[in-house]
Amino acid sequence: MEKLVQEGKITVSKVMGKSSGENFRLGEGEKSVLDYYMANDIDLIVSDDEAFLKMLDTFEISFTPVAGVILLSVINGLINKEKGIKYLEMLKPMIKEEHIDTISALKQMIREGAELYLINQYSNGKTSKGKLAELLDLDRYEVNELLEKYHVKASISYDRFTRGIKTAEETAKSQKGRA
């Protein structure tokens, strides 16, 4: 956190006056976050304090737990899916047992999101089937099943396909003449 502050990626501000969180049983950190939110044009609060999140929810203030930031970071390409899953695993010991299913769901969303993104890249001709297999750690048969599951047709055009057939036929004929 200190590094982010030093690099100017996070700004720490001192809040003056009485806290707007005085009527709630909040820690000093949560009170200062609420004050900063109220005094500035903030889109989202990130917190891991369940009581604070319930209070934010009650007042319809946009928030996400830390796991949500990890998920959004993966979705937006700020970190890769392996790091996202690693970070979620690191959070597990700090999360109450009843929320572990949420972490599992987020990990599954990361995997499926990466899968859909890569399938989209393939269907738009931006990656090959071999690269798709490599990135998803699947063999070519599993990739074919996955593409079938998502109703993705081969990324080769009809013209390219017919040219390939014609070239193969011509090559076969020329090879017969040599034999």
Mean confidence (pLDDT) of the chain: 75
Q: Which domain holds residue 17?
A: 1-64
Question: Mean pLDDT: which of 51-55, 142-146, 173-177 is highest?
Answer: 142-146
pLDDT at 103: 63
29 Cβ partners below 8 Å, 6+ apart?
none
Left if phi > 0, otherwise alpha if psi is -120 to 50, otherwise beta: which for 137?
left
| Residues found in the chain | 179
pLDDT at 171: 77
Q: Assess whether 94 and 177 both reside in one domain.
A: yes
Place of tokens 């030093």: 6
Does residue 7 sit within a domain? yes
Does residue 71 sit within a domain? no
Q: Assess whether 29 and 87 both reside in one domain.
A: no
Structure confidence by residue, pLDDT tens digits, 57-113: 888 888 877 777 887 788 777 888 888 888 888 877 766 665 556 666 666 677 777
3-state secondary structure of 46: strand
**CA atoms within 13 Å, Cβ hemisphere of 88:** 28
Mean pLDDT throughout 169-179?
A: 71
Does residue 38 sit within a domain? yes
* Beta bridge mates, 64: 46
Rounded distance between C-alpha atoms, residue 78 and residue 69, angstroms: 10
**156 or 92, which is more confident:** 92
pLDDT-derived band of residue 177, with 50, 70 and 90 as boundaries? low
Q: Report the percentage of the chain scoring pLDDT > 90.
A: 0
Rounded distance between C-alpha atoms, residue 165 and residue 54, angstroms: 63
The total number of structural domains in the chain stands at 2
Instruction: Provide the H-helix boundaries in the chain.
Output: 2-6, 28-39, 50-58, 66-75, 81-91, 100-123, 129-136, 140-149, 158-178
Q: Assess whether 40 and 97 both reside in one domain.
A: no
Q: Assess whether 166 and 86 both reside in one domain.
A: yes
pTM over 0.75: no
pLDDT at 18: 47
Q: Assess whether 28 and 102 both reside in one domain.
A: no
Asked whether 84 and 70 are in contact (CB, 8 A), the reply is yes
Which two tokens mark 151? 């109703």
**20 or 8, which is more confident:** 8
